[in-house]
A and B are shown apart, each in its own frame.
Chain A
Amino acid sequence: MRSDCHVHVRGDEKSEDILREMDRAGLDLVCIISSAPQSQVLEMPAKKRVSDLEDMKMMGRMVEADRERIKGFWWLDPTVPDAADLVERAVADYGCSGIKMIPNHWHVYEERFFPAYERIEKMNVPILFHTGILWGNNDCSRFCHPADLEILERFPKLRFSMAHIGWPWTDEGIAVADRFKTMARLKDGRDPEIMKDVVRRNVNVHEARYEVPIRCFGDLTPGTPAAYRREQLQLCYEVLGADALVYGTDGSSADRNLAEREKFHRERDERIFRELGVLEADIERIMGSNVLKWLGKK
């Protein structure tokens, strides 16, 4: 299986064009992200043509053609008063499979967003959080530190991912994901190594028999410049293991050039993983099937 957990769409793509491009790219599943909400339109005027509700409807039309292969992520601005209701509407009425958020001069840990997190948790869909440097939203990167996501510990059934592995704060992103996974492994109690010495916590991290449900996924979508890529993939794999990573490309459309983009990114990452000695089964999980766990489908 091959998947892409991170593709932006304009909103006017046709389902048949997306599916054609997916076939050409050899993709079994793609997560498409709606365009920026109205509250951010002033900073990205060229990308916004329609209302948020119309965007939601367009997303619904795109995923309707093949709900198994096209997964819609509704881009939510949690500062709007009806954020929690919008979540429910996107998922229940328009078939969205997840929520996308970019902290735009707000912090993930602010209590005013807790009702939205609770509703997302209740709807059993994941959040795809932007983490790391941001090229839009003016001076917004400082709101996108991975450590800000620790607050999601308060929502024990909520699954989420940290896009771009938080680059340039990749170590911070790894530390946060490692924290969530290690705490779950300690609570689980099956892994003798981690029960004996938590400092050696990565020793059995690749053993399937000690795996625990993952809540915090590292989204490997670039952000990382080429010079960083190999080292970051190695660190993510060594510390977090294959079960905590999902693959994406950050494409800007789903109906054109998907195959070319996939070929470039996927071939590079798979080559790096093989050079690092990662097992084919683990590559398959990272590049393909883990997304199903993140989506709550497996």
Chain B
Amino acid sequence: MGSTTKRSAKDAKGNGRDLGSTTRRNGNGAKRNRGLREKKGSTMRTDCHIHVRGGKCEAGPILEQMDRLKIDKMVLMGSGAAKTPAAQKKSDDELSKLCSADRRRLVGFARIEPQLAGTTDEIRRCREKLGLVGIKMLPDHWAPCDEFMHPVYKTIEAMGMPIIFHSGILWGNADSSRFCRPANYEAVIFFPKLKIALAHIGWPWVDECIAVVDRFVDMAKRDGRKSSQVWIDCTPGTPPVYRKEALRKALAVCGAPVMLYGSDLAVPGDLSIIAGRMETDIRLLRELGCKQEEIDMVLGSNLDRFLEAE
């Protein structure tokens, strides 16, 4: 593939797996530098957790920063939780437009507020009309195990969209952290084709997060699945003093194949912090005895496996 204008229909929906192209275009149509993975012998780097702030956000500067930082692919999550169906549509439309500049590298996850009227229709629209690949949700005084979520899960499962769920302490949404405990997410067991990642390793409930993921990893092995239904999004949340121990436990119990790197930064904005944050995690993973291929999975190729439908 030479440019975004020559993508296959599959890629145009944001499903592309092929990063083998040597030329890309930014949002203005100009030729872009190659992503890191495209260089011979180089390593793919991905970030599963980037927020999109509301307001004007251009793809060009994001892609330029990605080139400079040698990031191949980012999950962009729609701006804040919508209060009305109209606001939900606006957020999804804006995200789709942003990602349309290069859907292989800018992977759109609609930020869905599931209690709004028409949520399941909007999820279908996100996938079928807007080319958004996944869903981001953050329990705000509702619990992921509430029964009202079942039709929502059913729709998302049918659309083949993975979900990144906030889990752990929450600094916004008033007193909402208690709804974000990892064990609440066991409810997805009733939707076996649905794939989710628990953000922030669930901190401060890291052990609980690992226990939940481990349960699903084990189940996947027994059931002969391609991958676990529940993954760990290693995006911080963990204060520095906790980071290494949290990664150690996640690696030891659940394994590198279900761990995703994320940075929790926001666009528009300076993404250069990602470099230092990635370096820190690579150093910690090395100190914990990870092989290079495992590091490359966590910080790179696992994201594509997470995006694959079961």
Contact = CB atoms under 8 A, between A and B. Distances in A.
B241 A239 contact: yes
Contacts of A196: 273
B53 to A, nearest CB: 15
B204 A175 contact: yes
Contacts, number: 64
Interface stretch (A94-102, A150-158, A248-256): A150-158
Interface stretch (B4-12, B169-177, B288-296): B169-177
Interface of A is mostly: helix
Residue among A172, A179, A197, A199 with the most chain B CB within 10 A?
A199
Nearest to A196: B273
Given A109-B175, A151-B174, A199-B264, A235 B204 contact: no
Interface in A231-289: 234-235, 238-239
Interface string A188-231: 00000000110111110000000000000000000000000000
A202 B174 contact: no
B102 to A, nearest CB: 27
A196 B276 CA distance: 13
Contact of A153 (B174, B178, B203, B242): B174
A123 interface: no
Interface in B149-186: 168-169, 171, 174-178
Contacts of A239: 239, 241-242
A233 to B, nearest CB: 12
Given A199-B264, A201-B239, A145 B169 contact: no
A176 interface: yes
A238 B206 CA distance: 18
Contacts of B205: 171-172
A176 B169 contact: yes
B178 A150 contact: yes
Residue among A151, A174, A182, A203 with the most chain B CB within 10 A?
A174
Interface of B is mostly: loop
Contacts of B242: 171, 235, 239
B118 interface: no
B277 interface: yes
Contacts of A42: none
Given A179-B169, A235-B241, A235-B242, A148 B178 contact: yes
Residue among A172, A176, A203, A239 with the most chain B CB within 10 A?
A172
Given A171-B206, A235-B241, A150 B168 contact: no
A174 B175 contact: no
A77 interface: no
A46 interface: no
A172 B204 contact: yes
Given A150-B174, A171-B203, A200 B168 contact: no
A169 B203 CA distance: 12
Residue among B203, B204, B205, B241 with the most chain A CB within 10 A?
B204
B178 A175 contact: no
Contacts of A234: 241
Interface string A135-151: 00000000001011011
A200 B174 contact: no
Interface in A174-189: 174-176, 178-179, 182-183
A200 B204 contact: no
23 contacts: A109-B175, A109-B178, A147-B175, A147-B177, A150-B174, A154-B174, A169-B204, A171-B203, A171-B242, A172-B205, A174-B204, A175-B203, A175-B204, A176-B177, A178-B169, A179-B169, A179-B171, A182-B171, A197-B273, A199-B240, A201-B239, A202-B239, A238-B239
Interface of B: 168-169, 171, 174-178, 203-206, 236, 239-242, 264, 273, 277
Pairs of residues from A and B, 10 with the lowest C-beta to C-beta distance, nearest first? A171-B204, A150-B175, A175-B204, A175-B169, A238-B241, A151-B175, A199-B236, A147-B178, A147-B177, A172-B204
